[in-house]
Structure formats: C-alpha cells, structure tokens
Structure 1
Amino acid sequence: METSIPYLAQDPIFNVEKPFDTDVPVDHIPGARASNHRNDERDLKVYPITDPDEWDLDRHGFCFIRAKTGLNAEDALTRKKEVQKDYWYEIEAILHERFPQYSRIESYDCTVRKRDPDFPANIRLYTKVEQPARRPHSDCSPRGAHMNLQRAFPGQERFWEGKDFDILNVWRPLRGPSNDWPLAVCDWRTIDPSVDVRINDAIRRDRVDENAILHFSANHRWYFMKDQSVEDLIVFRNADSFGKRAQGFHCSVFNPESNGQPRESVEVRCVAFR
C-alpha cells in the first residue's frame, strides 16, 4: 500500500526544549503553543500481513491473536462505561492464555474511536469520540508507564515499584472487514532507538503523560492487516518498566484502496506483570 506517514521532524529546538503536544485548546492563552512539533511527511510503503503467526511480541514489538470477544460496536460507542469492564475481563483472559509468562494482567483503559468523515482534511479538536492517531508513536515511555499506573491505580505504588511489567495494547476494529485508516505497526528490529525515538510530553486536559515518537529512517518497515475483522486482535507493547524490550510503534495510515465506511475501533491498555 502506497501511503504517507507524518514523522516527527528532527528540529534543533529539541536541543533546548523537550517535545510536547496537547489536545487542549490554547488559543485563548497569549503566547501559548499547542505543540513544538514539525511534520516530516514521508511517502512510503506499508506491507500487508501475509502470515499473522510469524509475528512475535518480543522480537517485533507486536503480534496477532485470533479471538472472539463479546463487545459490539453500538455498545462500545454509546455505553462504553457500562460495558468496558466485561470487555477488560475478556481481553485479560485472552492474554493470559496466549502469554503464560504473565502472572497478573490488569486492564485500566479503554479507548473507542470513530473516524469523522472529514478527518484529516479538517483537523479540529474532537471531544466526544477520539480520532485516528497519524503520528507514529508508542503510547508511553518507560517513565510514562509508571505515570500511567500512578493515575490508574492511585495509592498502590507498592504493587508495581521495582516490578517487571509491560504496558500492552489490544486493538481491533469494531466492525469488519475494515480497511479504512488501518493501524500500521513498525517492526521493532528496523528501529534504532538511540536515533529514531524521541521522548515527548503529552499534555492532556487533566494530566501530563510521557510517550515516545518516531523520527524517520529509511530502515523502518511498516505493516498492516488487510480486511481486518473484529476477531483479529493486534497486540503491541508500548513500553516495559525497565525499558529493555521491543516496543510496538504504530499509527493510523490512509489507505487509498479503501472504499468502506469510516473506521471504528476499540483498544484496551493493560499492565502485565511477569
């Protein structure tokens, strides 16, 4: 698939200023900036997954699981708070079966997205349903992983401080087969973290997170699942507590071959202890 990806540009400002972005309006604040990012838009190929079984979480940063789940699109879009715990339990059971090395798995976030028909031509801040994320990123850095847990499980630091854990995402479309703005994942073996990865402050309405963003490299190899169904789960590692394992850098990409309905998707973020 021929498409483009808006990498983070290598900018001299990062010698004196940490990268940051926000989803909070700042136009009313004199001198405020929503971000210090510049785009480095690159035309490239994203390759279709031909054999889902060949991808390994610890080598590539992502893998695929074929599994049935009970969450339907309408409930996810209209009753997320009421149904997310049941979905969390389903995802945790699927992960325990696939990854016996984890002694405990706790879900703590559920994000539902529905692409607006004018995305991304008319970029604006969406408040009700999140939009696809175009910038290639990992949802948290190793430091950001601890920040996630402090927010999700307040007052329980003794249960994770010094522990070996991963922050995993489980992503799937809500309706399928889906080809609209698919999730593309980058093979970790093609990333040089010392050069390609930049730590970023993600400023939200009620908090500051820390994630990681990619600079362009011609070595990167990107992949997507064509005709992804609701039973095709993409599992990727955002970070681990010690910063030593493969990460699943990802982004949504325009698919020029898609003529289906705007993509709807759901993703669960969880902590998995070893």
Structure 2
Amino acid sequence: MNCKNCNAEVNGNFCSNCGQKTNVGIIDFKYLLSELNNSFFQVDHGFFYTIKQLAIAPGNSIKDFINGKRKNYFKPITFVLVLSTVYALIAGFFDERTMLGDFVSGWNNYENSKVGSNDKILVFQWLVKNYAYAMLLFLPVFSFGSYLSFRKHKYNYFEHLVLNSFITGQQAVIYTFFLILKSITKGSVFIETIYMLFVLGYVFWSYLQFFNNYKKLKTILLTILTYVFYLIFMSLIGLVLSLLI
C-alpha cells in the first residue's frame, strides 16, 4: 500500500516518510465535522504553505488535497474562517467596508423608507460585523451551485464545499492585498476595478485547473452557470427571510 500524500510504501496506520494517516478517506459530511472538531482553533504549519500553493496552482492543489495529499495543507473550513476574519479586521483598521458592507449600504438605502424593515437591516448588520461567519453561511449555497453545474463530474457536494472554501479563503488574501494597496493609492477607482476582476478571474482560473478534463469553454460556461445558480438561490433565501422577518 502506498501513501496518498508522498507515494511511499506504507505498513501501518501512518506513513513513516511524511506522517500522514494511511486511511484518509473521502471528503464527506463526517470529514467536515471531524475537521471542525479537531482543528477549529488551531493554526498548524500548513497555513502559509496552503496560501503559497493556492497562489501558484489553485485548482491542482485543491485536487491534490481531495485526492488524498493532505498532510501539508491547512484544513479548508478553518482556512476560510481565519482569512475572512483577518480580512475583516484589516478592513476595520483601514476604516473600509468589506464587500458585504457595501451590499448592506445599498440595501439600507432601499429599505429605510419601508415599514417593518428594521429587523431585516439588523440581520444584515450582524452579517457585516461577523464577516467570517457570513462567508461560511454563503459557502454552502455557492457550493450547491457548483455541484449542480458540474454534477456530471465525480466530485460530491462536500468536495465542492472544500473546493470553494479554499478559493474563498485565498480570495480573502487577495482582498486584503488590494485593500492595503487601495489605502496607499488613496482609494483609486482603477484599483477597485482591477481587484474585482482579479478576484473573479481567480475563480475561473481555479475551476479551469480543477476541472481540467473538460474543454476550457465548457468549464467557463459551467462556472458562469454556477454564479447564476448562486444568485437565484440567494434571491430565494432573501425572499424567504423577508417573508419570515
């Protein structure tokens, strides 16, 4: 039997070469619960390695993780939580709104004149103040969209959740970099346009690598379909919340 992480021959429960468990198993709901239980408050040695690999070859790195090469990587859910928190803290330091903050500002302008809208605003304000948790709440929705779009592929829903967790975490790194750059350039509109295109392009680049057995045009179209599904689902969720609140 060979180790899925380093391909060395293994006898026992752990690889004597790299230390990874012999039985890494598939990524499913049980795996994600185990991750939250074991490493929710840990920052292990794989954190900066994961950032580096996701900057160099995001789709390939995530595919390696899903296929069993997990020893050197940071856990995906913890990864997005930590980096979203860092981004929100730095945005607060520079007195800048996060993306979610910009959305709420627009929502406020629309809702302020409507009767009974205060409860809705409070919900969105909570999401703004708890940006990292908001990202975790939105991730399952986006992942469901990618799962539906690429449903003919071999990956299950929870593997799509891992894929998008790594991508979202790395996007937080990009947001943070451009946030600092924006502060240095005194809020240039040009910088904002570039970083939004950069963030969106990062998703397409990651998907093109991850789903490299598809033709590139098909992957691009299915990625666009993922965003369409996401917008539909978020609109439906917003409608339900509006009716319930």
Query: Which interval holds the TM-score relative to the shorter structure?
Result: under 0.3
Q: Higher helix share goes to which structure?
A: 2
Task: Report the structure, 1 or 2, having the larger strand content.
Answer: 1
When Rg is computed on C-alpha atoms for both structures, the one with the higher figure is 2
With CA pairs under 8 Å and 6+ residues apart, which has the higher RCO, 1 or 2? Answer: 1
